[in-house]
């Protein structure tokens, strides 16, 4: 079980794991507010949306770095000269 959480929350940076945990907490809060009040505040919606964009952006950058890094390691020359 510990290994499951370690793999689930480790995205090569501990800072991102904090964002994921806070996103999960916000989603739980939004679920509770929807059940109890039938409404989710706009600010909470904005926070959830921003956290989702941050996680998607970091994942996109990680994918691009995995694509570009092997080419740099092979010694390809990207200079203009």
Find out whether 22 and 51 touch, Cβ atoms under 8 Å. yes
Tokens standing for 32? 């509770």
pTM: 0.64
Find out whether 47 and 19 touch, Cβ atoms under 8 Å. no
Model confidence pLDDT, tens digit, residues 17-52:
788 889 999 999 999 999 999 999 999 999 999 999
9 or 35, which is more confident? 35
| End-to-end Cα spacing for the chain | 53
Query: What's the CA gap between 33 and 44, in Å, rounded?
Result: 10
Q: What angle do CA 34, 36, 21 make, to 5 degrees?
A: 55
pLDDT, residue 60, reads: 83
């Amino acid at each position: 079980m510990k290994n499951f959480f370690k793999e689930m929350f480790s995205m090569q940076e501990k800072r991102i794991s904090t964002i994921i945990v806070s996103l999960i907490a916000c989603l739980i809060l939004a679920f509770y507010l929807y059940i109890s009040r039938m409404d989710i505040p706009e600010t909470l919606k904005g926070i959830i949306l921003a956290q989702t964009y941050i996680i998607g952006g970091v994942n996109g950058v990680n994918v691009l770095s995995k694509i570009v890094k092997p080419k740099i390691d092979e010694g390809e020359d990207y200079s203009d000269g």
